[in-house]
């Protein structure tokens, strides 16, 4: 089970990272559903920049490597204290993301009637919860 959870998490995170790189270089597919918008408006709550989007893509790839190392799926790198701490940080970030900011994102958001909010309720937040559980399982 650990094998399936780790590889599915790493695969989905790698795809999300590739999508962020696509967006950073001007891609528009799926962008409206990926950025929270204000209630009753089609204007995004914020406009991410190219550097920030690339930074998120790199962080997501780092998470992939931490999970592969912590899970014992790399021959050149061995799980150690750094990867363990990284896994704890990743689990915390994913769980906090799933809970949300109580306004735009997470299971407990107040704005529920936008494209992003529907996707967040049914896709993004459950995925973050799953990623957090995977990171937690890899600690033991």
Hey, where are the domains in the chain? 2-33+47-137
Q: What pLDDT is recorded for position 64? A: 97
pTM, whole model, 2 decimals? 0.92
Percent of the chain whose predicted confidence (pLDDT) is above 70 = 99
> Which of 67, 71, 25, 65 shows the shortest CA–CA distance to 48?
25
Cβ proximity of 9 and 67 under 8 Å: yes
| pLDDT confidence tier of residue 31, bands split at 50, 70 and 90 | confident
User: Alpha-carbon distance 56 to 96, whole Å?
Assistant: 16
Residue 119, phi then psi, degrees to nearest 5 = -65, -35
Per-residue pLDDT tens for 85-99?
Answer: 999 999 999 999 999
């Amino acid at each position: 089970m650990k094998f399936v959870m780790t590889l599915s998490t790493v695969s989905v995170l790698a795809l999300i990272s590739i999508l962020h790189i696509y967006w950073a270089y001007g891609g528009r597919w799926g962008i409206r559903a990926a950025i929270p918008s204000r209630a009753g408006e089609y204007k995004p709550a914020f406009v991410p920049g190219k550097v920030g989007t690339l930074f998120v893509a790199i962080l997501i790839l780092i998470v992939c490597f931490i999970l592969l190392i912590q899970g014992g799926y790399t021959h050149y790198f061995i799980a150690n204290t750094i990867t363990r701490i990284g896994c704890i940080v990743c689990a915390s970030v994913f769980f906090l993301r799933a809970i949300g900011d109580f306004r735009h994102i997470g299971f407990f958001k107040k704005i529920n009637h936008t494209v992003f909010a529907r996707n967040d309720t049914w896709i993004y937040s459950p995925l973050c919860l799953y990623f957090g559980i995977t990171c937690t399982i890899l600690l033991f």
